[in-house]
Amino acid sequence: MKKLFGTVVPIITPLTEADTIDVESLKRLTDHCISNGLKCLYPCGTTGEMMYLTVEERKLTAETVVKHAAGRVPVFVHVGAWNLKDTIELAKHAVEIGADGIGVVTPTFYQISDRGIADYYIAVAKSVPEDFPVYLYGIKQNAINDLTKDACEMAVAECKNIIGAKYSFPDMTRLQELMTVNNENFSVLVGPDHLFEAVVAVGGDGVVSGNAMCIPEHYAAVWDALEKKDFNLATKLQRRTNVLNATMCAINNIAAYKVILKNEGIISTTVMRRPYENLTAEQEKDILARIEELNYRKVEI
């Protein structure tokens, strides 16, 4: 089964001025990520405003990315939804369109026990072929429910296609705990970008980074250094991305990504799905000025 690795991009969902999925911008964004050395695509994730999209919009987004990527890089579709029924529907759809795997966020809003979380994941994993890869996704600051080693092990014990996790809370202890699931065969990727190098250095498989859409050459360089185990270079590159990311994410990171990508001609609008807010004209101007001042296209070492 394929695993996620390197820099995985949870791409934004471009919208038209009429608030529909902008398919042509989505295709350009797919090409942009692939041509700049990013390793895997992850549509319909948190950065893709997943919970504000309808099931049909998520299907259209996933199908567009999978078809346009055309096997050039793996595409894992995020399918976690507000309820189990929609999650399973999206999981089966990902199989039908030829995705390489899926990610599934923990149940959200209501507090669920580890046993309940494990049962949820087991139901999703059993709804797809037993050789179809499933990644669990923990982002407790958004979803309320955390992803623990116990929950992972209960799920993995019943479903061998649950092969890893994306963990998006900056907790190195938890990240390393997850790496010991299933006799250390569990694939772990980090969400917080500043931990990219650190997590890979201790056995993780990479980062899931929205920032990478806007500064892909930096993330490609970090991963190249890590693959070569040149940690001195990786550290310098990581520090450079930290500075750029702090600038891009100072207000509203997803809205900022859209501003930067539109400025580069990759997407057509900066429309956010309501109730998510757009940046003001002044904020847009400020972010573009700040990253230009940092010479953000230059990969410094």
Write the pLDDT tens digit of every residue in 55-106. 999 999 999 999 999 999 999 999 999 999 999 999 999 999 999 999 999 9
Q: Quick one: pLDDT at residue 183?
A: 76
The identity of residue 15, as a single letter, is L
Per the rule left: phi > 0, alpha: psi between -120 and 50, beta: everything else, 109 is left
Where in the chain are the domains?
6-230
Angle between helix axes 216-227 and 231-248 (nearest 10 degrees) is: 160
User: Cα separations (Å) of 249 from 44, 194, 196, 211, 252?
Assistant: 20, 12, 17, 8, 6
187, 164 Cβ separation under 8 angstroms: yes
- Local structure of residue 102 (DSSP, 8 states): E
Tokens of 52: 């504000």
Write the pLDDT tens digit of every residue in 240-263. 999 999 999 988 999 999 999 999
Percent of the chain past pLDDT 70, that is, above it, reads 100
Q: Quick one: pLDDT at residue 104?
A: 98
Q: Quick one: pLDDT at residue 301?
A: 65
Q: Quick one: pLDDT at residue 119?
A: 98
The reported pTM is 0.96
pLDDT band at 289 (very low <50, low <70, confident <90, very high): very high
CATH class of 6-230: alpha beta
Buried b (16+ CB within 10 A) or exposed e, 38-76: bbbbbbbbbbbbbbebebebbbbbbbbbbebbeeebbbb
Q: Distance between CA atoms of 221 and 198, rounded to whole angstroms?
A: 15
Write the pLDDT tens digit of every residue in 157-193. 999 999 999 999 999 999 999 999 987 789 999 999 9
Q: Quick one: pLDDT at residue 273?
A: 98
Cis peptide leading into 275, omega within 30 of 0? yes
Q: Quick one: pLDDT at residue 47?
A: 98
- Please give the average per-residue pLDDT across 29-40, as a whole number: 97
Buried b (16+ CB within 10 A) or exposed e, 235-268: ebbbebbeebbebbbeebbbbbbbbbbbbeebbb
pLDDT at 131 > cutoff 90:
yes
171, β-bridge pairs: none
The identity of residue 55, as a single letter, is V
